[in-house]
Amino acid sequence: MVRYAEPGAVEWVESGGGPLIAIPETVLPFWAGADGDETASDYDRACEVDGSVGLLPVGDSAALVLGDEPASTAYLPDHGVFVRWCAADSEAELLARVPAALATAVWEREVRWKVPGAVVLFDSAWPGPETGRTEHLRVALEPGAYAVRAAQVQPGPETWLGLVQLERLPHPE
């Protein structure tokens, strides 16, 4: 597989062509990926998500599917955002454009995602228990509800990126 995001300032995850998925660690054993005896595998369900983001039930929780295109993806905790590398001359160029991209993004419809804690981002074709054998990224999240929104942004003449922002919602009183 060709690597578009060379090792650098942040850790990038790529897929073999399908969507990336962020699954709470607590329910990783329930994700079968492309394996399984069912007519529609978990991977097939992930591929059916329409748009930039969507939620799929997994165990007693939900997985966040990063749809649209299988772009190299990193998580920037300082911004609470997954950054999807669509086009840029370098990692430095892409990361330097993130603040401007966040400021000018036209966000798609928001979804609400409740997580019990940390999630693991990986290629949705892999079974959850085997994520240690493939590219993956552990993202430490506080338990609770998050507003998730996505945008495609062109913050520079040769730079395009996708954003999936996670905003922690306040606890209900």
Ranges of each domain in the chain: 20-168
Q: Tell me the pLDDT of the chain (173 aa) as tens digits.
A: 334 445 567 899 998 888 999 999 999 999 999 986 667 799 999 999 988 999 999 999 999 999 877 889 999 999 999 999 999 999 999 999 999 999 999 999 999 999 999 999 999 999 999 988 889 999 999 999 999 999 999 988 889 999 999 999 997 65
CA atoms within 13 A on the CB side of 91: 14
Specify the pairing of strand 53-58 against strand 111-115: unpaired
Q: Is the full-model pTM beyond 0.85?
A: yes
Can you tell me which residue has the tokens 């454009």? 97
